[in-house]
Structure 1
Amino acid sequence: MMLTTNNRLQQAEEALQKAKEKLNERYRLGYHIVAPANWINDPNGLVQFKGEYHVFYQHHPYDENWGPMHWGHAKSKDLVHWEHLPVALAPGDACDKDGCFSGSAVDNDGELTLIYTGHHYTDKEKDLFTQNQNIAVSQDGVTFEKAEENPVIAEPPADSAHHFRDPKVWKHGDSWYMILGNATKDEVGRVILYRSADLRKWEYIGVLAQSEGTLGYMWECPDFFELDGKHVLLISPQGLEAEGDLYNNRFQTGYLIGEYDYETNKFSHGEFIEMDNGHDFYAVQTLKDDKGRRIAIGWMDMWESNMPTKEDGWCGALTLPRELTLDKRNKVLMNPVDELTLLRETEHKVFANQSISGNYLAKTNQDLIELKVEFDLTKTTAQAVGFKIRGLDQEETVLRYQVKDQKLVLDCTKHGKKEDGIRRTALEAGDRLSLRVFIDRSSVEIFANEGQATMTSRIYPQHERLGIELFAEDGDAQVSEFTYWSLKDIWK
């Protein structure tokens, strides 16, 4: 018997309820978007609708491993306190037989419209497939109906490989525009552009941007928007080789920035810049909210990485929401949205304007912490400064700034990343090193010098926390501020 869409959605909900009862909570995140149970990956459909923020995500409600993709769903009034909503999309219709893959969402005059990729295996064993683009609509922002017109784009352009996914849609003037992650037949990553008057009939415009042979075989999860007068194209290229401290993860996320002309579809841009230099940051998507902010959320995991939470009945999480801005050099900066101060419960001012040599431990067994540390480098003689998230039995995550080399080094080797546990990134800190850090039960997000560098990684402590330790190596360090806050668990 063929299940109806509603049957499939109901089954997914029932499976999640059962899986929730068996969860092990040891690594469960306290203030990040996670599914009620089982697997999630890419954020999808970031949108503001009727005054609330909606985030959808790639979700497998039946297993802690990746599988036939559904769309999970959460919403919030303030980007901080999230609530789970029922699964929004389930695959299995003619337009999306084997998966409702990534996409985006728009508010079309009070109708919430999801635009997503339908996945269809032609030979699952050999990973051969076709992909098309579909829409689903909702009046209430909770229950969605797939459009009768699906697929709204049935197949990719003639010069294209079968990789044809992750639609991002926005409105400019009277027209809707859609970009898609794509590859040419000879495996060159690119982003292609379509235009529509009604979200149903789409006209192919052409290539928005394409690799010159150095930027991977496929560009996933594109996003395109204006930021402070420039146009930014976010992409997640697959197939980049590591170059020193760059591109050390399985796949990357970064941006091209430049000038764009809608009349000619010409995007003149600079080189690819990686957005985050930690271990676990991919498939970022953005929305522009009613305050005019460009807000980004990424998947806080990485393909083919060690994921110990699978043993606990869940896997995958999304990053904190980050506001994107441009600095004077046209670098995209990411910083935590202002609302995240709502998470703060108790403030602990450890000290200010104090010199340290060696180390200083602020004892706390708190799991959920926001940390603010500032070093005055003009009065620092140490070769390296930084902090450690200390645990019992010598467990630790270390962030070290090498003053002379101007390099930030994150070492999670002793917190569950035995292999490939170190990430590095350049940071010209100048006179001061300012660190804002969000620590959850199994994650750390580091924002250095107001977003000049960010590093996001999952960590997997086996033991209780001991505290936060500041250190100075081979000399003294002047600490302007050392403050931390205990944070709320929004899911409890």
Structure 2
Amino acid sequence: MRFKGLYHLFYQYNPKGAVWGNIVWAHSVSKDLINWTPLDPAIFPSQPSDINGCWSGSATILPSGKPAILYTGIDPNNHQVQNLAYPKNASDPLLREWVKSPKNPLMEPTSTNMINASSFRDPTTAWRGKDGHYRVLVGSKRDTRGIARLFRSKDFVNWVEAKHPLHSSKRTGMWECPDFFPVLVKGTLGVDTSADGDYVRHVLKMSLDDKKHDYYLIGSYDGKKDRFIPDSGFENGEESVLRYDYGKYYASKTFYDEDRKRRILLGWANESSSVNDDIKKGWSGIHAIPRTVWLHKSGKQLVQWPVGEIEKLRANPISLPNKVLKAGQTLQITAVTAAQADVEISFEAKEFGKAEVLDSWVDPQLLCSRKGASVKGGLGPFGLLAFASKGLKEYTAVFFRVFRYQNNNLVLMCSDQSRSSLNKDNDLTTYGTFIDVDPSHENLSLRSLIDNSVVESFGGEGKAVITARVYPTLAINDKALLYAFNYGASDVKITKLNAWSMKKAQVN
């Protein structure tokens, strides 16, 4: 949240080790979303309703301007219950001390409300209806049905569950870290979480515990009935539901930045290293670069883009003029620190007759793993080789490949981690998605933020994002190299290539 000129990030943290456990709410503050200063934990086990852990939740700025936090506590029975905390001194811009409501828990599973006591967590930011009452969602499940339970309150303290959930879906499992927010039908600005009317659509996001990915639905919110009707839902198949990120990205939340009139998405990028390696290095889990999100003009999906503040870290810019990348060619991108860089590249493809034909629909991640960067194709693969070692024993490839499917061009975006490290204890999964761009009418753009163990890649001007967590053994620090490549049978043209070395942010 933003409060008195500072951004506040609260996050799940184990102060005693690099593995899960002893969970408290750590607290860091920033002026710019890039450089962060840690404070003491804001919320930690101290009362019966959270004595076994302070799990995830959300902040809400009340009409008075004072923030309030709803969070999941684990009680002495190991039941998941919802608690309230608020600042001890709201005039302190750092909000260093938080006190808990004496009425905690405010929401709990009982013998009458049929709530699964082990699947009832992660309250959202609250919004206000036209009746002035607050609404909040809590993630839940019944058998394998994922549920966004809806609670209402007049005073933010006394909460009553609505007769119906806001939305639920069969066979989706537990919905963790739900998020519900409006987006403008037209434009890239964000709006307050309580905004409602014909000028907005609504987004319901859920982190599927069974899949460990963040999915979202776009639809209409009926504020009178408190029901959400998605344009397309899980009943059409999980593959038809969009994701924020097709790589390592989970448990994300958005907030409205009133100062800059934007909606910002923050997510957790979990590890690809083994637990033993995490313990050795003494930490695990990072926050991805904050992203601004808005509704694409098609109305069919969200667009995500790194917050503009990240560009303050850019240094030593390089720019290459138009260049044809011939079939089988690699081009080293020199004069940037390849282990810590921001790269923007666009490709023009023309020879669509050489594109491979897909006879039937294939899961894009499976297709990327079958046709990785080393597999020569017709039109593609072309893209970037990040964290490349000399001789290309190691590299993380982010690339496009164009197919013909039902007489249309179909663009596949992949993040191939199969050769990202010689350490075979790492998760070397290859990720991918189809991306809604027509390469006969627009160039294929890729922006990758490369940072020592991370490659965050934004395809199609932010229509698809894939975050990779990699731990190279050879391509580290100044041994890392960066290439543009084209391993297809058809030439492609680089129409734009801008790259920057990135300075270090001040973190912790």
Cα deviation, residue 209, structure 1: 4.1
Matching residue's letter, 2:417: C
Aligned residue for 1:454? 465
Q: Which residue of 2 aligns with 1:422?
A: 430
> How much does 1:268 deviate?
1.1
Say if 1:329 and 1:471 are closer, same or farther in 2 by CA, change over 3 A.
same
**In 2, are the aligned partners of 1:279 and 1:301 still within 8 Å (CA)?**
no
Q: Kindly provide the amino acid, as one letter, of the partner of residue 99 in structure 2.
A: E
- Which moved further from structure 2: 363-372 or 62-71? 363-372
2:396 match: secondary structure: strand
Counterparts in 2 of 1:286 and 1:121: CA distance versus 1, 3 Å: same
Q: Who is 2:418 aligned against?
A: 413
Counterparts in 2 of 1:225 and 1:304: CA distance versus 1, 3 Å: farther
2:249 corresponds to 1:281: yes
CA contact (8 A) 2:205 2:215 kept: yes
- Corresponding position of 1:484: 499
User: In structure 2, how many angstroms separate the alpha carbons of the residues matched to 1:321 and 1:305?
Assistant: 26
Are residues 1:339 and 2:309 paired? yes
Q: Who is 1:115 aligned against? A: 70
**Distance in 2 (alpha carbons) for counterparts of 1:341 and 1:74:** 21
Letter in 1 for 2:333: A
Does the CA contact (< 8 Å) of 2:7 and 2:30 recur in 1?
A: yes
Q: How many residues are aligned here?
A: 427
Q: What corresponds to 1:221 in structure 2?
A: 177
Cα distance, 1:488–1:206 mapped onto 2, change above 3 Å: farther
Aligned to 1:310, the other structure's residue is in SS state helix
User: How far is 1:286 from its partner?
Assistant: 0.4
Q: Secondary structure at the match of 1:208?
A: coil
Cα deviations by residue, 1:268-288 (Å, 9 ceiling, x for unpaired): 112242324433111110001
Secondary structure of the corresponding residue to residue 410 of structure 1: strand
- Other-structure match for 2:99: 145
Q: Is the 8 A contact 2:139 2:176 kept in 1?
A: yes
Residue in structure 1 matching 2:286, options 314, 317, 338: 317
Q: CA deviation at 1:407?
A: 0.8
8 Å CA contact retained: 1:190, 1:219: yes
**Pairing partner for 1:194 from 141, 151, 154:** 151
Distance 1:202 1:434 in 2: 47
Distance in 1 between residues matched to 2:155 and 2:295, nearest whole Å: 32
Work out which of the residue numbers 332, 345, 350 in structure 2 matches 1:378: 350
Q: Secondary structure of the equivalent of 2:213?
A: coil
Gaps (5+ residues) in structure 1? 1-46, 123-128, 240-249
Q: Distance in 2 between matches of 1:113 and 1:286?
A: 16
Superposed CA RMSD in Å reads: 2.2
Conserved? CA contact 1:379–1:478, under 8 Å: no
Structure 2 spans left out of the alignment, 5+ residues: 185-199, 235-240, 355-377, 404-409
SS at match of 1:225: strand
- Give the secondary-structure state (helix, strand or coil) at the position aligned to 2:480: strand
Normalising to structure 1: TM-score of the pair? 0.82
1:300: Cα distance to partner? 0.7
CA drift of 1:302 comes to 6.0
Structure 2 distance, partners of 1:67, 1:233, is 29
Contact 1:256 1:271 in 2 (8 A): yes
Change in CA separation of 1:302 and 1:211 when aligned onto 2, cut-off 3 Å: farther
Q: Distance in 1 between matches of 2:277 and 2:465?
A: 24
- Deviation of 1:484 after TM superposition, in Å, equals 0.9
C-alpha contact (below 8 Å) 2:216/2:244 kept by paired residues = no
Letter in 2 for 1:175: H
Letter in 2 for 1:118: G
State whether residues 177 and 206 of structure 2, in contact with CA within 8 Å, keep that contact through their aligned partners in structure 1: yes
Give the one of 381, 384, 387 matched to 1:387: 384
Letter in 2 for 1:171: W
Letter matched to residue 394 of structure 2: E
Amino-acid identity (%): 29
- Aligned to 1:95, what secondary structure does the other structure show? helix
SS of equivalent residue, structure 2 residue 310: helix
- The 8 Å contact of residues 16 and 22 in structure 2, kept in 1 or not, is answered as no
CA contact (8 A) 1:345 1:487 kept: yes
The 1:326–1:314 alpha-carbon spacing in structure 2 relative to 1, beyond 3 Å, is same
Q: For 2:318, which of 330, 348, 351 is the aligned residue?
A: 348
Quick check: 474-483 or 271-280, which moved more? 271-280
**1:4-403 correspondence runs (5 A):** 47-108=1-62, 109-120=64-75, 122=77, 129-138=78-87, 139=90, 140=92, 141-155=95-109, 158-162=113-117, 163-172=119-128, 173=130, 174-184=132-142, 186-215=143-172, 217-228=173-184, 229-239=200-210, 250-269=211-230, 270-272=232-234, 273-290=241-258, 291-301=260-270, 308-327=277-296, 328-349=298-319, 351-357=320-326, 358-363=329-334, 364-378=336-350, 383-384=379-380, 385-389=382-386, 390-392=388-390, 394-403=393-402
1:342 Cα deviation (Å)?
A: 1.3
Instruction: Give the distance between the partners of 2:156 and 2:31, measured in 1 at CA.
Output: 27
Secondary structure of the equivalent of 1:378?
A: coil
Contact 2:71 2:122 in 1 (8 A): yes
Write out aligned runs for 1:440-451 (5 A).
440-451=451-462
SS of residue in 1 equivalent to 2:481? strand
Instruction: Using the TM superposition, give the Cα deviation of residue 85 of structure 1 relative to its aligned residue in structure 2, in angstroms.
Output: 1.6
Q: Note the C-alpha offset of 1:305.
A: 6.9
Structure 1 position 361, deviation (Å)? 0.8
Answer yes or no: is the 8 Å Cα contact 1:255–1:274 preserved in 2.
Answer: yes
Residue number in structure 1 paired with 2:358: none
TM-score of the aligned structures, taking structure 2 as reference length = 0.79
1:469 aligns to what? 483
Corresponding letter in the other structure for 1:282: Y
**Alpha carbons 2:49, 2:76 under 8 Å: kept:** no
Name the structure where strand makes up a greater proportion of residues: 1
**Residues 314 and 500, structure 2, Cα contact 8 Å, conserved in 1:** yes
Alpha-carbon distance between aligned partners in 1 of 2:108 and 2:402, rounded to the nearest angstrom? 54
Deviations 1:226-256 (A, max 9, x none): 11111111101223xxxxxxxxxx4221112
Residues 95/121 of structure 1: CA separation in 2 closer, same or farther (3 Å cut) = closer
CA distance in 1, matches of 2:285, 2:341: 20
Contact 1:282 1:302 survives alignment (8 Å): no
Instruction: Output the amino acid matched with 1:334.
Output: Q
* Contact kept? 1:282, 1:300, Cα under 8 Å: yes
